[in-house]
Amino acid sequence: MTELVDEEFDRLKREVTEWVTGPGEDYAERIEETGNVPAELFAELRDNGFLNLAAPQRLGGRDVPFAEYLELMEIFSRSHASIRMLVHVVNGTWRAMDPFMTQEQRETFIVPSVKGEKLIAFTLTEATAGTGADIRTTVRRERDTYYLNGEKHLITFGVKCDWWLLAARLDGTTGKDGTVAIMVPNTGLPGAEVIDDSQTMGVHGTDHAILNFHDTPVPAANRVGEEGQGLDVMLGGFLLPSRVSVAMSCVGLAERAQELAVDYALRRETFGKRLAERQAIQFYLAENYADIQAARALVLEAARAYQRGDANAGVLSSASKMVAVDMLTRVTDKALQIHGGEGYWKRNAIERVYRDARAQRFEEGTNEIQKLVVGRAVVTGKV
């Protein structure tokens, strides 16, 4: 990828900002009122070219370099969480598939996804296992067909997607080497049960699914990569950049919380004095500002390390998410406190921001997992 010229990138940032603060806010209100993401929102994101920002041109994308794409993700993250989620997922799933797919598979699965014609749900997490080599969903091969058995849960877009990019293991195996990745069509296959599990604390509108499979037949031609490469597909090309993207979404949402807090502090008067004139409130806003800038700098450093292919990119990605998540917690808490009792009511945008801020704490691994990654790297001298 080549760097965008400053003028071109500035124009793209203005375009995204104008949409987020205009139509994006209208959609945010509709999503909160109805609890659903309208089909025309997905179409508008697609038609504006917001769903193919990060993918290379050979796949139909706009080839925006990763660090610059994250600055756009920062802006999208100031909008409704479901809008951010759509942009994040569609601009990221191709990374998992591309290194392992044949050209024919790319044309079938990746290109329609990048074009915004098909939606792919990343399908790894299980209720009775972790999110790695201990997965229990199995496949059994008979000639040219895999028969899928098991369950998945917390699958974002798992209800309405066209395909599940699903991780399973060969029946009778244990550990990483028995894993496979497979494209499973969400077309009412025999033995496939989709349970809508979308009633969440925040991120309203984004659907989530519990999936149960009972001898569900899937063509062996839909396997991504080789048998034994399942976790390489699911984690290798996807998790690291996705983790940094989630970290940047924390920055964008924190910036929105700070913006709302400043606006309220400038408007609200108590005992004849605006909140913004009170030292305690200024301290809150100062701490928020410093917190946001520090996290943003680390996230961009992690993004550039990934873009360059640095050996410490993985550690930086975990560190950036760890720092950004904790920062978002602090910033949204202070922003809500500045609003006082007003912030507790749904008519105020800070209420939604505060709820939505919880989601990043478990997206792409909890902070406890990130600390393990960083801690191991520190004690082994790999940083």
- Enzyme catalytic residues: 364
Please give the backbone phi and psi of residue 146, each rounded to the nearest 5 degrees, phi first. Answer: -95, 140
- CB 68: neighbour CB atoms within 10 A? 21
Report the C-alpha gap between 288 and 330 in whole angstroms: 8
Residue 169: helix, strand or coil by DSSP?
A: strand
Task: Of 321, 251, 258, 206, give the one whose Cα is nearest residue 77.
Answer: 251
Tell me which long-range contacts 235-239 makes (C-beta under 8 A, separation of at least 24): 235/132, 236/96, 236/99, 237/95, 237/96, 237/97, 237/98, 237/99, 237/100, 238/92, 238/93, 238/95, 238/96, 238/122, 239/364, 239/365
Q: Tell me the Cα Rg of the chain.
A: 21
Neighbours of 195 (CB within 10 A): 14
Residue whose pair of structure tokens reads 């606006």 in the numeric block: 263
Pairing of strands 138-142, 179-185: unpaired
CA 250 to chain centre: 11
Rounded (10°) angle between helices 81-90 and 66-76: 160
d(CA 282, CA 357): 22
Give the closest residue to 352 by CA, choosing from 32, 87, 75, 37: 32
